[in-house]
Amino acid sequence: MTQPTRRLFGTDGIRGKANQAPMDAATALRLGQAAGQYFNRGTHRHRVVIGKDTRLSGYMLEPALTAGFVGAGMDAVLVGPMPTPAIALLTRSLRADLGVMVSASHNPFEDNGIKLFGPDGLKLSDAQEAEIEALMAGDLRASQVAPARLGRASRLEDAPGRYIEAAKQSFPRRLTLEGLRIVVDCAHGAAYKVAPTVLWELGAEVVPIGVAPDGFNINQGVGSTAPGQLAGLVRERRADIGIALDGDADRLVLVDECGTLIDGDQILALIAGSWQAEGRLRGGAVVATVMSNMGLERHLKGLGLNLLRTAVGDRYVGERMRDAGCNLGGEQSGHVIMADFATTGDGLIAALQVLSVLVQEKRPASEVCRRFTPLPQRLVNVRFAGASPLKDDAVQREIAAFEERLGERGRILIRASGTEPLIRVMAEAEDEALVTETVESLAATIRARIAA
């Protein structure tokens, strides 16, 4: 049998411009109907948990999804603005059949997205997404239940408190954050209430920024993709560390007391070393994507650990972790999955793992969080419209030529983004000049072929 194809779903759910297909109310309604039909199995009362970030368009997409699910016979539990990992947690905690997060993560407010979680709190597989998409393309009258079987919609008022307690449970009870001054940047996003609360309740002096969402300012000059303001404030307030989350708080980056950036690779190295020393690391390996720096791979090898690489996307990281029996994985961009605590990337809980090491070692973040020296690496994004230029013969010839020049001293990774119309051109090697030449030349060739 031919496997259904995915056209709506990308690397991380469905993404698009708000109020334009596929990120419009009509598509959200059909998604609710189709996913409701797909997960409406058995005679029990079916339930879906729906969360969102702080984008204005969430007010449009949330009720459209709710209508679809209710019409398919599912009770909808609405939790409002909450981090993506909280939706995964609540889906399992409430024994729901499905979890839905309305968010475009680190993208600007004009965009939005929809992510789906199964009853186990895990993101759906490619095959499951393809089946739901096939239902959306067909006749959805079968999803419409009789009037007596319609679902109900209700709000879960204590949802933030449930997640706050779960996050705190991940931090060792014998430790406290007392004496630490922490700047936390919530990107005017989903964690704007819960993240500062968790840090404060654990004893830290908290300096919050990015905690005044207005529907338009999510990720605007703040958050994990724009840590400049955070770095400046850490230096100004003489803080011990800065934490930057993204719009849905499933990833983070850090800055040390000097304002220097600490990316996801360094965070993975720190947690891996700490867990290995405590006998908590499973699988003898860490899972990361093809984007992670070769320096991380060499560092882990020195610890007697393997680095298992996957395609880009925390969903693929999670799948490989389960297959390999690992409990730690993530992405250079800051998605960190800790299977002992969460089923998906959780920026806040990852930050707490770093803070626990900081407290125990009693050394500055600039020393604690620098676990290896990364190889020179550069990434350039090339925007395009229409067909991908990567199949062009001239582009492929130049890629092959640079791969031959780099040999075993480095590597090239060129791929289309799964969330935006971008070609990502990355190279890394011990020779920084060669890295720069490689990326600039390849990006120029791709731009020329797009223009042609």
pLDDT at 178 over 60: yes
pLDDT at 156 over 80: yes
| Amino acid identity for residue 312 in this structure | V
**pLDDT tens digit sequence for 395-433:** 899 999 999 998 888 899 998 887 778 899 999 999 999
pLDDT at 3 over 60: no
End-to-end CA distance of the chain: 40
Q: Decide which of 42 and 376 is more confident.
A: 376
CA 94 vs. chain centroid, Å, equals: 23
How far is residue 344's CA from residue 90's CA, in Å, rounded to a whole number?
12
Clarify whether 170 is annotated catalytic.
Answer: no
| Amino acid identity for residue 139 in this structure | D
Q: What does residue 322 show for φ and ψ, rounded to 5 degrees?
A: -65, -40
With CA atoms as reference, report the closest residue to 59 among 219, 186, 191, 215.
Answer: 215
How far is residue 357's CA from residue 361's CA, in Å, rounded to a whole number?
6
List, in order, residues 6 or more apart from 236 with CB less than 8 Å away: none
**Whether 417 contacts 397, CB under 8 Å:** no
pTM of the model: 0.91
- pLDDT of the residue at 254: 98
- pLDDT of the residue at 394: 87
Q: Decide which of 186 and 315 is more confident.
A: 186
Mean model confidence pLDDT for the chain: 94
Greatest Cα-to-Cα distance within the chain, rounded to the nearest angstrom: 69
In the numeric block, which tokens belong to residue 63? 């009720």
Residue 401 region by backbone torsions, left for phi larger than 0, else alpha for psi between -120 and 50, else beta: alpha
How far is residue 339's CA from residue 45's CA, in Å, rounded to a whole number?
29
Measure Cα distances from 321 to 58, 126, 269, 317, 327 in Å. Answer: 32, 17, 16, 6, 6
pLDDT at 218 over 50: yes
Burial of 120 (0-12, 13-18, 19+ CB in 10 A): exposed
pLDDT at 108 over 90: yes
Choosing from 105, 170, 274, 356, the catalytic residue is 105
- pLDDT of the residue at 150: 97
Which of 62-76, 179-193, 316-330, 416-430 is the least confident region? Answer: 416-430
In the numeric block, which tokens belong to residue 77? 């539990």
List, in order, residues 6 or more apart from 370 with CB less than 8 Å away: 256, 262, 266
Rg, Å, the chain Cα set: 22
**pLDDT tens digit sequence for 248-267:** 999 999 999 999 999 999 99
**Whether 291 contacts 425, CB under 8 Å:** no
In the numeric block, which tokens belong to residue 96? 């729901």
pLDDT at 1 over 50: no
- pLDDT of the residue at 5: 67
Segment 211-234 shows an average pLDDT of 97
For the beta carbon of residue 217, count every other beta carbon within 10 angstroms: 18
How far is residue 333's CA from residue 125's CA, in Å, rounded to a whole number?
22
Q: At 310, is the secondary structure helix, strand, or coil?
A: strand
In the numeric block, which tokens belong to residue 343? 């089923």
Indicate the pLDDT class of residue 436, thresholds 50, 70 and 90. Answer: very high
**pLDDT tens digit sequence for 46-62:** 999 999 999 999 999 99
pLDDT at 447 over 80: yes
With CA atoms as reference, report the closest residue to 107 among 225, 227, 8.
Answer: 225
pLDDT at 200 over 50: yes
